[in-house]
Chains A and B, each alone.
Chain A
Amino acid sequence: MNSVIERYLELWRITKTYDSPAGPVNVVQDFNLTIRQGEFVSLIGHSGCGKSTVLSMVAGLSDYSAGGIVLAGREISGPGPDRGVVFQSPSLLPWLTALENVTLGVRQVRREASRSAVDEIAVRSLTLVGLGDSLDQRPGELSQGMRQRVALARAFALDPKLLLLDEPFGMLDSLTRMELQQVLIDLWMSDRKTALMVTHDVDEALLLSDRIVMMTNGPEATVGGILEIPFARPRDRATLLDDPEFSRLKGDLLRFL
């Protein structure tokens, strides 16, 4: 087995400056974070503190003003399919079916693959998220939860180096959210992608993460503290909730926020 790369994703003194009416503001300042290969890290913090800003800089969708981001030994410049992104809104293309939404990306990363091979990858990915029967439905015909499943399948089907999730379940009702958290856990357990997820749901962060990064309030937001989440995997929601360690960690998080 390959040895795990310790410094797989490295954010070094990342700073993001936006112009405001009162002059330039460092929304995020000197943000340092190192993530191990195969690790699941959550980013938690108050609304507006700059979580999405950090995530979109890692995604390459927005430039950083100072510092550096290195993924698997390479500095990030611009977006690319080596980073699968799941946004808060599913951002599926409404004129394409679920399958076409997924193959659109697979075709970009597997240019040499035949049409049927591309379809196969997409179908497998959609089946894993439980949409094997809805391949030909358009986003308009799917529920919010199902759309977000497609978005998860689309990101995983790219077989990316890194998964970036920005409050992926923020728009869902709590039952659907729990369902999708399980879908995400199952997907992640199947190939242990390195993942960085933004959330403001404490339970969600505890259930999914190896580590939780707490961000200070902006402006000039940065890492306020990091919690190691020691629970063995696979984790079960019910047993976790009974664990006194769970309440203790949850207390720590809530006190910080």
Chain B
Amino acid sequence: MNDRRFPFDWLLLPLVALVACGLLWSLSSATWAKSLPSPLKTWEMSKPYVLQPFAKRGELDQGVLRFAWYSLVLVAKGYSLALLAGVPLGLLLGMSKIFTRGFDPIIQILRPVSPLAWLPLGLILFQKSEPAAVFTIAICSMWPTVLNTAVGVRAVPQDYLNVGRVLQFTRWQMLSKILLPATLPYMFTGFRLSLGIAWLVIVAAEMLTGVPGVGGFLWQEYNSLIYEHIILCILTIGLVGFVLDRLMSLIESRFRTPDLAR
């Protein structure tokens, strides 16, 4: 494959791609997609939201990062719940074959269920929109944590367990001194994937429940026919998601231990 390197290619190449996408966007809005706002129009309409990202002018009229912050807080709640439930479930699955044989089919069936399907159930269970959103985020985002933790436990080299057996570790010592540290790198991969899903779910949850946040703002602006703000929201969601993923990757790499079993 052609992979030529030149000075500042890491900056220039993405810039060229960006300009190309911008052109395509302008062209589209000028020709076949008349209701798609042009890049320039989008920027004009979005200026107050971007330049004063934390402003609060009214309940429905706040800076874009302020909305993102509301979403992040909600994600944090659901995500914490997902980890709290997902890690022990993953440990159980990894440690017990019987437990795996019993619960694996159920997990495989629940895993692909869309957040749009869970949300109404959350609303019925909790009657209020915020707990329903938290519930949906938790149940949709916990699966990668569950599965990666289980895989990690199963991948703990027998050598490490033998160290614990020779030292006559109690069950608790085995868990805290060998199993958990050995599984941590896998768990963090799960944590990163879960966070990605949690952030995906938030928009859907906010749209359906009207909880304030980027997703809620997006839906409200759609209903008010301010299409420029839809694009603003999409870009914000993408950027925030990207930053979250980068942060988790950083944490993940800190916990990566070399596998010396071989």
The judgment on whether A and B are partners is: yes
Q: Nearest Cβ distance between residue A81 and chain B, in whole angstroms?
A: 5
Given A140-B260, A147-B260, do A93 and B160 touch, yes or no (CB 8 Å)?
yes
Contact of B260 among A61, A85, A139 (CB under 8 A): A139
Assess the A89–B168 pair: CB atoms within 8 A.
Answer: no
Could you tell me the distance between the alpha carbons of A84 and B162 in the complex, rounded to whole angstroms?
11
Could you tell me the distance between the alpha carbons of A78 and B162 in the complex, rounded to whole angstroms?
11
Assess the A87–B159 pair: CB atoms within 8 A.
Answer: yes
Contact of A104 among B157, B177, B258 (CB under 8 A): B177
Could you tell me the distance between the alpha carbons of A78 and B168 in the complex, rounded to whole angstroms?
9
Could you tell me the distance between the alpha carbons of A115 and B167 in the complex, rounded to whole angstroms?
18
A interface residues, tally (CB under 8 Å): 24
Assess the A108–B167 pair: CB atoms within 8 A.
Answer: yes
Assess the A61–B162 pair: CB atoms within 8 A.
Answer: yes
Kindly list chain A residues whose C-beta atoms are within 8 Å of the C-beta of B160. 91, 93
Could you tell me the distance between the alpha carbons of A93 and B258 in the complex, rounded to whole angstroms?
10
Assess the A92–B166 pair: CB atoms within 8 A.
Answer: no
Assess the B181–A91 pair: CB atoms within 8 A.
Answer: no
Question: A79-97 vs B: 1/0 string, CB under 8 Å?
Answer: 1110111010111111100
Assess the B167–A91 pair: CB atoms within 8 A.
Answer: no
Could you tell me the distance between the alpha carbons of A91 and B166 in the complex, rounded to whole angstroms?
12
Nearest residue, chain A, Cβ from B261: A89
Which A residues from 108 to 160 make CB contacts under 8 A with B? 108, 139-140, 147
Most buried by B among A78, A81, A95: A95
Could you tell me the distance between the alpha carbons of A80 and B164 in the complex, rounded to whole angstroms?
9
Assess the A59–B166 pair: CB atoms within 8 A.
Answer: yes
Question: B233-262 vs A: 1/0 string, CB under 8 Å?
Answer: 000000000000000000000000111111
Assess the B162–A89 pair: CB atoms within 8 A.
Answer: no
Kindly list chain B residues whose C-beta atoms are within 8 Å of the C-beta of A91. 157, 159-160, 162-163, 260-261
Given A89-B260, A89-B261, do A95 and B181 touch, yes or no (CB 8 Å)?
yes
Kindly list chain A residues whose C-beta atoms are within 8 Å of the C-beta of B259. 94
Q: Is B231 an interface residue (CB 8 A)?
A: no
Question: B3-19 vs A: 1/0 string, CB under 8 Å?
Answer: 00000000000000000
Q: Is B165 an interface residue (CB 8 A)?
A: yes
Could you tell me the distance between the alpha carbons of A94 and B167 in the complex, rounded to whole angstroms?
17
Q: Is A105 an interface residue (CB 8 A)?
A: yes
Kindly list chain A residues whose C-beta atoms are within 8 Å of the C-beta of B168. 78-81, 108
Nearest residue, chain A, Cβ from B177: A104
Kindly list chain B residues whose C-beta atoms are within 8 Å of the C-beta of A85. 162, 166
Kindly list chain B residues whose C-beta atoms are within 8 Å of the C-beta of A90. 260
Nearest residue, chain A, Cβ from B166: A79
Kindly list chain B residues whose C-beta atoms are within 8 Å of the C-beta of A139. 258, 260
Kindly list chain A residues whose C-beta atoms are within 8 Å of the C-beta of B157. 91
Could you tell me the distance between the alpha carbons of A91 and B259 in the complex, rounded to whole angstroms?
10
Assess the B167–A92 pair: CB atoms within 8 A.
Answer: no
Assess the B167–A105 pair: CB atoms within 8 A.
Answer: yes
Could you tell me the distance between the alpha carbons of A169 and B162 in the complex, rounded to whole angstroms?
19
Could you tell me the distance between the alpha carbons of A108 and B163 in the complex, rounded to whole angstroms?
12
Nearest residue, chain B, Cβ from A81: B167
Assess the B261–A104 pair: CB atoms within 8 A.
Answer: no
Kindly list chain B residues whose C-beta atoms are within 8 Å of the C-beta of A78. 165, 168
Kindly list chain A residues whose C-beta atoms are within 8 Å of the C-beta of B181. 93, 95
Q: Is B178 an interface residue (CB 8 A)?
A: yes
Task: Taking A78-B168, A89-B260 as given, write out 17 further A-B residue pairs in contact, using a Cβ cutoff of 8 Å, ordered by the A residue number.
Answer: A59-B166, A61-B162, A78-B165, A80-B166, A81-B166, A81-B167, A85-B162, A87-B162, A91-B159, A91-B160, A91-B260, A92-B260, A93-B163, A93-B178, A95-B181, A95-B182, A95-B257
Q: List 14 A-B contacts (CB under 8 A).
A: A79-B162, A80-B166, A93-B181, A93-B182, A94-B257, A94-B258, A94-B259, A94-B260, A104-B163, A104-B167, A108-B169, A139-B258, A140-B257, A140-B258
Q: Which 4 A-B pairs have the closest CB atoms?
A: A91-B159, A140-B258, A94-B257, A108-B167
